[in-house]
Amino acid sequence: MTRIAFIGLGNMGGPMAANLVSSGMQVTVFDLVQENVNALVDEGAKAAESAVSAVKDADVIVSMLPAAAHVKSLYLGENGILQAAREDALFIDSSTIDADSARAVGQAVEQTGRLFVDAPVSGGVAGAKAGTLTFIMGGKVDAVAKATPVLQCMGKNLFHAGDTGAGQVAKICNNMLLAVLMSGTSEALQLAIDNGLDPKVMSDIMLQSSGCNWTLQKYNPCPGVMEDVPSSKDYTGGFMVKLMNKDLNLAMTAAANSQSATPMASAAQGLYKLHQRNGNGDKDFSSIFTLFDNK
Ligand code: NAD
C-alpha cells in the first residue's frame, strides 16, 4: 500500500487528501489548523504532530499550501521536510507558486537524489471533492511517471507541461484568464440585471451562446443562479480573493519578465486589488460580482 504524507488541508487539500484515503492509500496528514487535521482523521487518515513526522515513512509527499513562502519554508526552512523524508521519496507540490520558487525547491530536492514534481491544479473545490481536478505537471519524466498513479486518485486530466516549473507557468496563464473571465461574466450579468433581465435566464442564454465559459458552466458568480457554488453560500468555501490576487501578481511578474502584453489581466488585477482593499480578501473570488452590483 502506498504511504502518502499530505501537508496542507485547506479548501483544496482537505478533499484531495480524502480522495487519497478513499482510493486505498495509507495517508498521514498535517496542517497548522487542528480542526482541518481532525476532519481528515474522521475520513480515515492518520494525524501527525508535525510536517517532519508526517513525511518520515512516506513514499510520496504531497503539499497544498497557500503561497511560495509557505512551500519554501516547509521544504527548505529550519525543520524542513526535505532531509526528514526517505531517500527514495517523491515530492509533489500542488500549491500555485511562481515558477522560480518551484525550480529552486525542485533543484534542492533533486540534489539530495529524490524526485520532485510541481503539479498545480485547476477545477476548484468542487473538482477537488469530486476527484476530477486537472493536474499540470512540471518535472523529469521519471518523477512524472511516479506521480501519475497518485494524482489519478485526485484528478481526471493530467498534463506534463515540461521540465520543473513548467506546471506553474501553465497554471498562472490559466488563472490569469480565469480572473478575466470571472470579471467579464460578472459585468455582463450585472448589465443584464440592470436592464430588467433575470440573471438565471441570461446565464442560460450565454451558456448556449458565444459568451459561454467555465465560470457560467461551473461557478456562476450571481447568488441564486446555481446551487452549491460559493455565490449561493455567501461567497464562502472556494478560492479566496487574496489567492487570486497572489496568482495575478505571479502572472503580471511573469509578463513583465517576458515583456508580454496583458492589458485584459491588468484590468482584472485592478478590480481584484480594489475588491480585496474593500475587505473581501477571504471571500471566494466569484464575489467580484458584488463590485458591479450597486444595490
Ligand atoms: P487554504 O488557505 O484554504 O488552505 C491552505 C492550508 O495550508 C490551510 O489549511 C493552512 O492552515 C495550511 N498551511 C499553511 N502553512 C502550513 C504549514 N507550514 N504546514 C502545514 N499546513 C500549512 O488554500 P486553498 O484554497 O486550499 O489553496 C491551496 C493552494 O491551491 C493555493 O496555492 C491556491 O492558489 C491553490 N488553488 C486553490 C484553488 C481553490 O479553488 N481554492 C484552486 C486551484 C488552486
Beta strands at 133-139 and 60-63: parallel, antiparallel or unpaired: unpaired
Q: How far is CA 81 from CA 85, 105, 133, in A?
A: 6, 11, 26
| CA angle 123–8–232, rounded 5-degree value | 45
Residue nearest to atom 9 of ligand 1 (CA): 10
79 pLDDT band, cuts 50/70/90, is: confident
8 lines ligand 1 (CB under 6 A): yes
| Annotation says 242 is catalytic | no
Q: Which atom of ligand 1 is nearest to the CA of 247?
A: 34
Its ipTM equals 0.99
Number of helices (H) and strands (E), helices first, in the chain?
Answer: 13, 9
The rounded Å distance from CA 70 to ligand 1 centre is 9
Residue nearest to atom 42 of ligand 1 (CA): 124
The rounded Å distance from CA 9 to ligand 1 centre is 7
199 lines ligand 1 (CB under 6 A): no
The rounded Å distance from CA 111 to ligand 1 centre is 27
Cβ neighbors of 92 (< 8 A, separation 6 or more) are 60, 61, 62, 63, 116, 117, 119, 147, 150, 151
Q: Select from 243, 244, 283 the residue to mutate for testing ligand 1; criterion: most ligand atoms less than 8 Å from CB.
A: 243
The rounded Å distance from CA 192 to ligand 1 centre is 35
- Topology of domain 3-164 in CATH is Rossmann fold (3.40.50)
Q: Tell me which CATH code domain 169-292 carries.
A: 1.10.1040.10
C-alpha cell at position 275: 475588491
Per-residue model confidence (pLDDT) at position 293: 85
Per-residue pLDDT of 94-105, as tens digits, reads 999 999 999 999
Q: Select from 55, 64, 71 the residue to mutate for testing ligand 1; criterion: most ligand atoms less than 8 Å from CB.
A: 64
70 lines ligand 1 (CB under 6 A): yes
65 lines ligand 1 (CB under 6 A): yes
The rounded Å distance from CA 190 to ligand 1 centre is 31
Q: Contact, 143 vs 113, CB < 8 A?
A: no
Q: Which atom of ligand 1 is nearest to the CA of 65?
A: 7
Radius of gyration of the chain, Cα coordinates, nearest whole angstrom: 19
Written as one letter, the residue type at 157 is: N
Per-residue pLDDT of 96-146, as tens digits, reads 999 999 999 999 999 999 999 999 999 999 999 999 999 999 999 999 999
Q: Which atom of ligand 1 is nearest to the CA of 9?
A: 9
288 pLDDT band, cuts 50/70/90, is: very high
251 pLDDT band, cuts 50/70/90, is: very high
Q: Contact, 169 vs 100, CB < 8 A?
A: no
Q: Does 169-292 match 3-164 at the fold level?
A: no
> By percentage, how much of the chain surpasses pLDDT 70?
99
Query: How is the chain split into domains, by residue range?
Result: 3-164, 169-292
